[in-house]
Amino acid sequence: MSLMIPGWMVGEPTSTAISSFNSYASAVEARLDQQHRSEGAFFPLAPPASLNEQRLRREEMIIEQLTPRTSADFSGALLHHWRGTTFVPEAKAADFEQLLRNFNSYPQHFSPQVLQARILTQRGDHLQIFMRVQQKHVITVVMDTTYDIAFGRLDAQHGYSTSRSTSISEIEATGTHRERALKSNEEHGFLWRLNTYWSYEERNGGLYLQVESISLSRRIPVGLGWALRPYVESVPRESLEFTLRSARNAIQK
């Protein structure tokens, strides 16, 4: 991938943007921690809950944009917050947990977004993971990423995971002799941070899946919206939808 647009190269996010992202993520994680403590609150549905329950039982996916209209100062960055929910008939919580933990199979189940995946370190339910990922939307962007991932359970029917990015590097000329990781002052800022949160609950003869993603990207410079807005604004939602759909398909096989 190479997108040489004058004025677009930006490097790392500001300390203010990182602090704002971390504060926002902490608030989301506090809410999820409360949800995951009891069976009754574990898997809330957006209102109207009864209508959305019917949609899920018809195997629809419910996609919600949770990004606040007004937020803290992200100092040249954009916050993206999405949530997706679906229901998989006859699926089991244990099957889905096995899928989430089998990182070697990610290039198979989450292709073409995930190109490579492997475990770097593991201590029980706490892991460090490497993944090479790509996104295509007019342009193709390839990134080497690492994540800090933790798994948890309320009981055999209720589980969750938390994934926080620890490094994201854009890769240029992937698959050629010129392949290299861009330096921090060469990167475009397509993705600076990505946290992903799974919740899953086995009931009603199947499995309810819910995934939330919070990401941080560079704010689109004035005059470059025509080239970059489709990528920056569309990819967070499309990536979440793809991940949820792929996970559902994988445990239905």
Tens of pLDDT, residue by residue over 166-210, are: 999 989 888 888 989 888 777 666 889 999 999 999 999 999 999
- Stretch 59-83: mean pLDDT, rounded? 85
Is residue 230 scored above 70 in pLDDT? Answer: no
Instruction: Print burial letters for 140-168: b (CB count within 10 Å at least 16), e (below 16).
Output: ebbbbbbbebebeebeebbbbbbbbbeeb
Where residue 118 falls among pLDDT bands split at 50, 70, 90? very high
* pLDDT bucket at 163, cuts 50 / 70 / 90: very high
- How far from the centroid of its chain's Cα atoms is residue 65's Cα? 13
**Residue 50 neighbours by CB under 8 Å, 6+ apart:** none
Name the pTM for this structure. Answer: 0.90
Q: Is residue 63 scored above 70 in pLDDT?
A: yes
| 62 — pLDDT class (breaks 50, 70, 90) | very high
214 closest CA partner among 16, 113, 43, 82: 82
Per-residue pLDDT, averaged over 42-52, amounts to: 90
